[in-house]
Structures are given as structure tokens and as C-alpha cells.
Amino acid sequence: MIDYVYYKNKDKELDLMKAALYKNSRVVEVEEIKKPEIKDNEALTKIKYTGICGTDIHIHEGLHPRTKAPLVMGHEISGYY
């Protein structure tokens, strides 16, 4: 699951989110990364749940030919904006 985490740092708010990061074959770690900046024609969605699909399994096993680490995983999502 990916979720936003908000921190305050000496009068400056840093927007971070949790993400499942593919690091290497069979290595996926949940880390806090910077929330993406969006353009005028885009929407930022707060993710409530994310699923695992066959592609994610192949990535995790190191079998997906076009995957390069680091990679934020989880494209089967539901959420709101």
C-alpha cells in the first residue's frame, strides 16, 4: 500500500509518500519518497489500496526484461483525489 505522509521541518512542509520500491531481484522495500509534482492537466490520487499482478511477480523475480531499479511498484490501485 502507498500512502502520503506529511512532515513539518522548521516552517517548511515536506510532502513524502510511502512506496514499494523494487531495488533488485527479489528485493522490494517500503520507503518514503518525495510526492510527485503534478501538471495542470493531471490529478494526484491518494492511494487507498494496491494489488499485485503477474507483472509485479515477474519484476520481483527479476524476470521482466524492461525493468530497471529503482522502480516504484504497484499499478493495480484504488483511491481518490
**Nearest residue to 5 (alpha-carbon basis) of 13, 17, 14:** 17
pTM recorded for the entire structure = 0.70
28-75: per-residue pLDDT in tens? 999 999 888 888 998 888 888 888 899 999 999 999 999 999 999 888
Domain boundaries, the chain: 4-80
CATH architecture group of domain 4-80: Alpha-Beta Complex (3.90)
How many CA atoms within 13 Å lie on the side-chain side of 74?
A: 19
